[in-house]
Structure 1
Amino acid sequence: MEDNIYEIQFTATSIRMLYKAVCFALDQWPGGDPTEQEYYVILRDSLKRILLEETFMLDA
């Protein structure tokens, strides 16, 4: 089964809050499905890239 793909829009502040929530979830990881943990890592890294791009754009 193929996953659906969705497109959503966030403000920079919302991305920061989501990044913090994902980092917290990883830091407090209780164990369980390792695939879920891998998805959290991918999401964290993607959000970090967005935040770095935002910082770059502000400094330009």
Structure 2
Amino acid sequence: MKVAVDQDTCIGCGSCVSICSDVFQLNDEGFSNVIAQPDESNEASAREAADSCPVDAI
């Protein structure tokens, strides 16, 4: 699994960060960034974070 965040779509709600902080964090502008691609240990939570994005930015 490979993840990316569409910076033009992200609204900075932070739900992805709260669900999977190993993969996502908010940048200085308040929008989500991918800080590491998921591996076997956090793939399920990264998928949950993507599914929970209210604007489908992930």
Q: Which has the higher strand share?
A: 2
Q: TM-score, normalised by structure 2?
A: 0.36
Q: Which has the higher helix share?
A: 1
Q: TM-score, normalised by structure 1?
A: 0.35
Compare CA radii of gyration and give the structure with the larger one. 1
